Amino acid sequence: MDPREIEEYLTRRLQAAPFEEAPFPHLFIDNVFPDEFYRELRSNFPTEDEFIGHDGYRFTFSAEERDFSRLSATKRAFWREFSGWLLAEPFMRSVANLFLPALMDRFAERPNATFTSSASLGRTK
């Protein structure tokens, strides 16, 4: 599937999701990805050995080059492409705009605050 199509699909799903205020501003979306892309994501999902253990119970896989280096070439290409648009400014802005009132309220005292994006998978044993 074309990355731009996936990003557009995901953006539409985010915009259509009901916005919840309590206990904090958030969205919950079932089936957030198109089926075809989700199958591709699952086939490129990191194995248990590709996650990093923190304490014997919690394990993470970050969308960063240091974690990609442990993957096969095929998986590495998938995760680089996926994180390329997922963590890019245009997508980050589309998500931040959904939370704009909450962000403006929270950072009212810091009008020049800057933001970055990150993504990771987590699992427990």
- pLDDT tens digits, residue range 5-24? 999 999 999 999 999 999 99
pTM for the predicted model, two decimal places: 0.86
| Mean pLDDT estimate for the chain | 93
Of the candidates 7, 38, 13, 39, the one whose C-alpha atom is nearest the C-alpha of residue 28 is: 13
Angle of helix 73-86 relative to helix 89-98, nearest 10 degrees, comes to 50
pLDDT truncated to tens, each residue of the chain (125 aa)? 899 999 999 999 999 999 999 999 999 999 999 999 999 999 999 999 999 998 889 999 999 999 999 999 999 999 999 999 999 999 999 999 999 999 999 999 998 888 899 999 999 98
Length of the chain as a residue count: 125
